[in-house]
Amino acid sequence: MGLPGKSAIWRVLVTGGAGFIGSRLVRRIENEWDNAEVTVVDDFRSGNFKNLEGFKGELITGDLAELKLRSFLASSDVDAIFHLASITDTREQDQRKMCWDNIESFRRILEFSRRRKIPIVFASSAATYGIDAKVNTETDACKPANVYGFSKVQLENLAAAYLSDPDLAGWKIAGVRYFNVYGPGEQHKGAMASMIYQLYLQMKDGKRPRVFEHGEQKRDFVHVDDVVDCTLRAMDSGKAAVFNAGSGEARSFNDVIALLNKALKTKLEAEYISNPFAFFQPFTQADLTRSRRELGYEPQYTLEKGIADYVRWLRGDPAPVSSRTSKVKAAV
C-alpha cells in the first residue's frame, strides 16, 4: 500500500498515542508524512499529556474497551490504524482486567475496520515467547509466562481469526513484537519505565545500581526510535504477518551499568539482589531475519549509541551534530 505521497491525505488513527512509543510514532507521522491527519485515542492511564506537546490532530479520550468509536469517527474517515493502546504493566495479576482491556480493545478496532478492511498495525510483545532462553523467531511457539504476554498472544490469534475469513481476504493486519524498549518519552511510566532509565535514576544520584543476581541476565534492549521505524515499515509493507522489533543483540545488565557509568562519568559498582519474579525472562534476543527481509528494517542504535544519546537527552545536553532523523527520512 505504501506510505502517503505528496498529494494524498492520509487519515491515521493511533490508539495509545499519548504513551511512550505511541507518542513517538505520532510525532514521526506528523513530521514526515505529507498531508497526514492524525487522531489519537488515549485514556491516559499509561500516557502523559506532555508526550503530545505540539500535537496538531484530534484527541479522543476514553477506555477503548468500552468506547464507541463510531460516535466520534466513521470508518470512511480512517485510512490506517496503529493500535498501541494496552495495559503495559507486566506485573498486573488481575487476569480479567488485563484480558478485557487488551483483547476487547483490539476486537473493537477490528470490528470498526472490517467493512473497509482498513490496514492495521498492532503492538504485540516479546513476552509472547515466555522465558525460553534463546534467540526468538516469529515462528517459535508462544509460551507466555504472565497474563500480559498471554493477552498479546490472544491479539495475534484474534488477528489470525479475522484474516482466515474468506470475506476478509486481502486485509492487511500486522503485529509487531516489541522487545525491551527504552528512550525519550518513558519517564512518566514510573516503575514500568525501562531498566536503563531506572538504573540511570539511581546512578545519577550517586547510588549503586541494583540488579538481580549477578547482572548477567541478557536483554534485547532496543531504542524507541528503532521500534517506531519497524512499526511504520510494517504499515508501509502492506503485509499481514507478525514481525520482531528489537536490536537483534542480547546485552547484560552489567553491560548497561558499564555504559551508564561511562556516560555519567561515574564508577559505581552494582548491588546484586535476589529475584522474586518467577516469570522473569533470563534472556531475550530478536531474530530479525523476517523484519530485515520483508520490511527492510535495520536498527540504527547499538546499545553504546543508544545509552549515550539517551543520557545526553535526559541531562538536557545538546544533541550530536550527526542526527538520526535525516537517515530515517531517507530510509522511508
Which residues are the active-site residues? 148, 189
Amino acid making up residue 330: A
Amino acid making up residue 325: T
Beta-carbon contacts of 105 under 8 Å, excluding residues fewer than 6 positions away, are 15, 64, 65, 83, 85, 86
In this structure, what DSSP letter does residue 35 have?
Answer: T
CB-based burial, 55-88: b 16+ in 10 Å, e otherwise: bebeebeeebbebebeeebebeebbbbbbbbbbb
Which cell numbers hold the place of 203?
A: 546512578
Whose CA is closest to 226, among 109, 88, 327?
Answer: 327
Please answer whether residues 181 and 130 qualify as being in contact, where contact means their C-beta atoms are separated by less than 8 angstroms.
no
